[in-house]
Chain A
Amino acid sequence: MQNRPPENRKKNIENLVEIKDVSFSYGFRPVLKAITMAVPRGKVVSIMGLSGCGKTTLLRLIGGALKPRKGEVRVDGQVVNRMQRNQLYALRRKMGMLYQFGALFTDMSAFENVAFQIREHTDLPEDLIQDLVLMKLNAVGLRGAHHLMPAELSGGMARRVALARAIALDPTLIMYDEPFTGLDPISMGVISNLLRRLNDALGATSIVVTHDVQETLKIVDYVYFMADGAIVAQGTPDEIRKSDAPFVHQFVWGEIDGPMPFHMPGAPYARDLALETARA
């Protein structure tokens, strides 16, 4: 695996990803409201929040799969939402994305999945490709599984193969969409360990969208908290752990009741049980 020499970093812009005042809606439903955030080069940044707060949408905006209604998204200094298809594809070659359940191509083996990007975008000879693929699989600890089909892999293994696939071309930016969902504690530990190690070894920048707080706080450099399409809190893992902002506190420590109420708003309990007659 390559190690980017530090000199290169100084020449480049400090923030790899910059999101300025971005708003987005699905149809008439607003999902992101004037979000501004930055991801510094070489760091692991996490975006946390409840399901449906817009975290995955943010990843899609960075990758150029969606266009914001207002604002701009910059990756490596270039404005993603105003790019032509060719430029976008060139940019995507520098990005790697790990999907929630791996999204491996089911009609190809693990080896072929990892080799896919290399074969599509380079003209390297087969023996070189074989070496590269086995190296990537070795990095995630699954070199021995290279011949297996995705259906034969467990959830955790599939996600690791997908990670090997995401880093096949040594990307500058790696994005993770809920990487810890549905994993056993061992697999979770493996993935979070890999996440940090790969980021540092490749000299890359990582963005992790998750709601697995405790696991993530161990490995990230900075955290953004989202709720209802806006950023409600941000800080380093220590700041977050010590924070007494009500929502952050409830989220980090898994409290049942707080700014996010336990009971969904509705009619008073007594009235529903017909203990009180409804006033006409």
Chain B
Amino acid sequence: MPERVLDGLRGIGHKVVNGVWRLGYASGFFLMTLLRSGTSFRRFHLTIKEIFSAGVLSLIIIIVSGLFVGMVLGLQGYETLQKYGSSEAVGTLVALSLTRELGPVVAALLFASRAGSAMTAEIGLMKATEQISAMEMMAVDPIARVIGPRFWGGVISMPLLAAIFSAVGVFGGYLVAVVLIGVDAGAFWSQMQNAVDFRHDILNGIIKSVVFGVAVTAIALFEGYDAPPTAEGVSGATTRTVVTSSLAILGLDFVLTAFMFTGI
């Protein structure tokens, strides 16, 4: 076989071995974060500070995006449904799409881009300027004090953000369908309430958002902690966080949807 092909294969093999090793290392890191979570809860004000950084600061983008997504759903939904004379089902369409899928998924993607990349950059920079080493040398465990609160801050913020996204989205759908287009308000809400089940749709959506929260925050924190201590290193890590989180969200979404909504 020509040398180039062999080199290519070797390169792939090398990348795969590296990837598996990195995955193992990341899992170990994740486990340690969980095991040393005591500090995050005993000194809860540390976690509250992180809920502010991750959650409150993401509110604006979540609310604006939720509103627009809901409005587009209402608009597109109405366009299609009215051809079959079922324009009153637009409420159901908007609510189910949001609570089951779009709420958790889009909110998580936005969270990854905003809060996730911010976390990665922050931790990467701390590592590059030797702040993490300094903390270690002062006999303070950086995983317990720096990583832990950020992890739990992210996990607590995510489902709240997803719920806000869905609620604002439904309101957006209402604005477009009822206020703008003129679908009957009573039919809009009653059809929606009949079709959306708390346990089946809303709760499942919340479970999804918690899972996404864990995944996104864990990836963001690991990439920051593992980033090479240079400018390119940190910027590469930030990009990797957004890409890997997005893929993880979509992949997990498929797995969770298969379990929850089709009874596989």
Interface residue ranges, A against B (CB under 8 Å): 63, 65, 88-90, 92-93, 95, 97, 99-101, 103-106, 116-117, 120-121
Contact = CB atoms under 8 A, between A and B. Distances in A.
A89 B137 CA distance: 8
A63 B139 CA distance: 10
Interface residues of B, number: 15
B169 to A, nearest CB: 34
A103 B129 contact: yes
B131 A116 contact: no
Interface in B128-147: 129-131, 133-141, 145
Contacts of B140: 116-117, 120
Interface string B168-186: 0000000000000000000
A152 to B, nearest CB: 16
A92 B139 contact: yes
5 contacts: A65-B136, A92-B138, A100-B130, A117-B140, A120-B140
A103 B139 contact: no
Contacts of B145: 120
B130 A121 contact: no
Contacts of A104: 131
Q: Name which of B130, B134, B138 has the most chain A CB atoms within 10 A of its CB.
A: B138
Interface of B: 125-126, 129-131, 133-141, 145
A105 B133 CA distance: 11
Contact of A106 (B131, B133, B136, B138): B131
A164 to B, nearest CB: 13
B138 A65 contact: no
A95 B131 contact: no
B130 A95 contact: no
A105 B131 contact: yes
A121 B139 contact: yes
A88 B133 CA distance: 14
Contact of A101 (B129, B137, B138): B129
A65 B137 CA distance: 8
Contacts of A99: 130, 133-134
A120 B138 contact: yes
Nearest to B129: A103
A41 to B, nearest CB: 20
Contacts of B131: 103-106
Nearest to B134: A103
A116 B134 CA distance: 11
Contacts of A117: 138, 140
